[in-house]
């Protein structure tokens, strides 16, 4: 949970998680949907899937929790950093841990100005960290090195006067001899990839007067949810029907694209299978992912299915589309992503 997420954000999630699944055996029996619901809001949802897959693998193996790096690396979702952290901190294996904080400390300590994202350079930092790790207290050493980078040897304003290893720091020594050289020149600044811009039309489809489709308390309105593919961004999560647009689009084009999707996937056709009670353009917002800047156009569509359309959804033509209809109460309790919740909040104001 702490990968890419702040401690303060994680605490409540962690406590709820441990109450529900106190052991690996409990977690291994959970469904992916249950895990995603518990994870909702933390982002980077692939971590949740890996946690479940890892728990199932370890339990199925029957050999207990792996204790060394070579075994830990076989578990889904565990890479070099996590394996090193677990093995050294929990099981005292003499192995290094290298993250962004450690790279910054080592780069300044040894005056390494190479690109910290370059694979060859990263291997060099791992080799260097392995030479430094304390053989008697590897976990404490690794934690202290990471903490040094997080608190004193920071990216922009390092506290060199308080640093316990400043006397050994080559970058500091060089900066004292050459005023044109700064501590913060180490490591070299990596070029950030520019976020790509994407555009999506989302339609909150509310179906009025259909109790037979409902998952929930049997109220008279249901909301259509679609499950995302099992691979890719937000894999396996529930969302309102959406279509990717390729570029910014006016309302007319967005509705045309959405109409095609709803007709193909669910046979929702105002001319034949349903009547429109309300259709309103609600607004738009921008949702930021690490590598994507997604502009989301939101629309509310309330329809009433015609009397002879009881088998409408069972006859849908869309391939590989997993869907369900839920009432307001069930929708509010689902583990939805922050983006989907924002969409729902917008349509509630209509």
As a whole-number percent, the residues of the chain with pLDDT over 70 amount to 93
pLDDT in the model for residue 311: 58
User: What tens digit of pLDDT does each residue of 118-176 get?
Assistant: 999 999 999 999 999 999 999 999 999 999 999 999 999 999 999 999 999 999 999 99
This prediction's pTM: 0.79
pLDDT category, 190, cuts 50, 70, 90?
confident
Topology adopted by domain 196-348 = Nucleoside Triphosphate Pyrophosphohydrolase (3.90.79)
Contact 73, 87 (CB under 8 A): no
Domain residue extents for the chain = 196-348
Q: Cβ contacts of residue 222 below 8 Å, gap of 6+?
A: 206, 207, 210, 213, 214, 215, 216, 325, 326, 327
Residue from 258, 271, 264 nearest 205 by CA: 258
**DSSP assigned state of 42:** S
pLDDT in the model for residue 191: 79
User: What tens digit of pLDDT does each residue of 80-114 get?
Assistant: 999 999 999 999 999 999 999 999 999 999 999 99
Residue from 204, 202, 223, 348 nearest 284 by CA: 202
Grouping H, G, I as helix, E, B as strand and the rest as coil, residue 216 is coil
């Amino acid at each position: 949970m702490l990968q890419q997420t702040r401690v303060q954000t994680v605490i409540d999630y962690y406590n709820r998680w441990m109450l529900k699944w106190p052991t690996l055996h409990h977690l291994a029996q959970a469904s992916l949907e249950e895990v995603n619901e518990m994870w909702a809001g933390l982002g980077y949802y692939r971590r949740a899937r890996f946690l479940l897959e890892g728990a199932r693998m370890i339990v199925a193996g029957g050999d207990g929790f792996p204790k060394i790096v070579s075994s830990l690396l076989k578990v889904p979702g565990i890479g070099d950093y996590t394996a090193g952290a677990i093995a050294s901190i929990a099981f005292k294996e003499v192995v290094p841990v290298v993250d962004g904080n450690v790279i910054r400390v080592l780069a300044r300590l040894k005056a390494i100005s190479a690109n910290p994202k370059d694979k060859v350079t990263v291997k060099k930092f791992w080799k260097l960290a392995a030479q430094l790790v304390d053989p008697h207290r590897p976990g404490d050493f690794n934690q202290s090195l990471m903490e040094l980078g997080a608190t004193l040897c920071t990216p922009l304003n390092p506290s060199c006067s308080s640093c316990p290893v400043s006397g050994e720091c080559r970058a500091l020594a060089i900066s004292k001899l050459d005023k044109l050289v700064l501590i913060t020149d180490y490591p070299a600044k990596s070029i950030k990839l520019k976020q790509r811009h994407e555009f999506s039309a989302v339609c909150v489809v509310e179906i009025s007067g259909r109790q037979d489709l409902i998952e929930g308390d049997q109220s008279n309105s249901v909301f259509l949810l679609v499950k995302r593919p099992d691979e890719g961004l937000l894999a396996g999560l529930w969302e309102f029907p959406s279509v990717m647009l390729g570029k910014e689009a006016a309302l007319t084009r967005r509705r045309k694209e959405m109409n095609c999707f709803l007709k193909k996937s669910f046979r929702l056709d105002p001319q034949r299978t349903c009547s429109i009670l309300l259709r309103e353009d609600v607004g738009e917002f921008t949702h930021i992912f690490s590598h994507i800047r997604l502009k989301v156009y939101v629309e509310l569509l309330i329809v009433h299915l015609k009397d002879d359309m009881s088998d409408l959804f069972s006859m849908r033509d869309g391939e590989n589309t997993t869907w369900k209809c839920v009432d307001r109460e069930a929708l509010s309790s689902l583990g939805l992503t922050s983006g989907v919740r924002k969409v729902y909040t917008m349509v509630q104001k209509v």
